[in-house]
Amino acid sequence: MNMSYNRFTPILSGWPMIFLLSAIGLLLGVVLSFVRPLEYSSTVRILITQELGTVDAYTASLSVERIADDLVDVIHTTSFYEKVTESNSIDERYFDEDETKRRKEWDRAVVASVSRGSGLMTIKAYHTDPLEAEIIASSVASVLINEGWTYTSGSNITVQLVDEALNSRWPVRPNILVNAFSGFVLGLIVGVAYILIQVERVRRRHQLIHGED
């Protein structure tokens, strides 16, 4: 019991420093969240199906999943970006004129994922303006619905909209709460480590002065 008490006594006695570093970490997490503009999200969902005749359900499911994965990769290509910008009134000024920077911005603006074992694809678009995010998400879905088959090697593919655009009410990126909590935890760890290091320094100095083992 004494050993446990002695081990944690320095941490308990050093709580003001730990608290201070935790608070600084939390504050930095919040401040750094505002380095980038706050972005809203818009989410649409589409369903990809394929007519394969007498093929068993498992094989059909794998085929559709592979096609959906291919389309997720296609979304981030320059060709697809151009089709999206042609299909609707997207504000292209939001994206850099330099192609390299534009690709990175487009990759960050649109995120797509596929539900395993199905052809259900979720498309999320991010923008500082929720209406612009909705336009991007809807435009991506529209291109996939009308021209998605041109990007795959599969046949008899049908892409349909199952969930219309749903916009977030509040900014979702960066996640201020997560960043603040991460900063707090990091500050807490640094504070505890600092106290333990100081205790170890004092112990070693005491050993050198008194010649203790």
**What are 107's two structure tokens?**
């990759």
Q: pLDDT for 193-213, tens place per residue?
A: 888 888 778 777 777 776 554
- Domains of the chain: total: 2
Domain of residue 162 covers 40-167
Judged on CB neighbours under 10 Å (0-12, 13-18, 19+), 143 is buried
Q: The dihedral of CA 174, 175, 177, 183: what is its sign?
A: negative
The predicted pLDDT at position 2 comes to 47
Is 53 in the same domain as 158? yes
Q: How far apart are CA 81 and CA 26, in angstroms?
A: 38
Is 55 in the same domain as 137? yes
Is 101 in the same domain as 146? yes
Which stretch of 21-25, 149-153, 181-185, 208-212 has the lowest confidence by average pLDDT? Answer: 208-212
Q: How far apart are CA 110 and CA 102, in angstroms?
A: 12
Is 112 in the same domain as 200? no
Residue tagged 């990126």 (tokens): 173
Is 90 in the same domain as 74? yes
Is 45 in the same domain as 27? no
Q: How confident is the model at residue 163 (pLDDT cuts 50, 70, 90)?
A: very high
Is 88 in the same domain as 10? no
Q: What CATH number is given to the structural domain containing 84? A: 3.30.70.1130
The predicted pLDDT at position 155 comes to 65
Is 21 in the same domain as 90? no
- One DSSP character per residue, 66-123 reads HHHHHHHHHTTSHHHHHHHHHHS---GGGS-SSHHHHHHHHHHHEEEEE-TTS-EEEE
